[in-house]
């Protein structure tokens, strides 16, 4: 599946069309609590969040991120934290409380999240 998605991620129109199928895959993975390939999950969510951010559907992004946190292994949650900070900031919500809830004590990850947040802010 992933190889098929890679070919269509390069065009904005395709990314718009991918939101619904990728959200469906997210729902199936969430319901099954599938975590056997965390690297694939990180790639899948990176693609999904790119598509959602491009369409500026911040509420959908926040919802998907929160659901994904429930089953993605902590070792692969970097993409989730970056997306969460981006979506929360775009919605005008307090990102400081979310950052304080980070279970990762990795200073490098926190720095990357702050950089991504700074780049996405107006």
Q: pLDDT at position 58, please? A: 93
Q: pLDDT at position 55, please? A: 93
What burial letters (b/e) apply to 54-88, b meaning 16+ CB within 10 Å?
eeebbebbbebbeebeeebeeebbbbbbbbbbbbb
Question: 64-90: per-residue pLDDT in tens?
Answer: 999 998 888 888 888 888 888 889 888
For residues 106 and 16, the model is more confident at 16
Distances (CA, A) of 9 to 45, 46, 48, 61, 108: 13, 11, 10, 18, 28
Q: pLDDT at position 118, please? A: 74
Q: pTM of the entire structure?
A: 0.79
């Amino acid at each position: 599946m992933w190889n098929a998605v890679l070919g269509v991620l390069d065009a904005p129109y395709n990314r718009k069309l991918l939101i619904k199928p990728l959200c469906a895959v997210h729902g199936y993975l969430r319901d099954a609590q599938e975590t056997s390939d965390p690297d694939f999950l990180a790639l899948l969510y990176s693609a999904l969040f790119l598509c959602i951010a491009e369409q500026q559907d911040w509420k959908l992004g926040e919802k998907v991120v929160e659901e994904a946190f429930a089953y993605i292994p902590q070792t692969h949650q970097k993409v989730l934290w970056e997306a969460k900070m981006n979506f929360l900031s775009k919605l005008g919500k307090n990102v400081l409380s979310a950052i304080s809830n980070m279970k990762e004590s990795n200073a490098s990850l926190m720095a990357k999240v702050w950089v991504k947040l700074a780049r996405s802010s107006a």
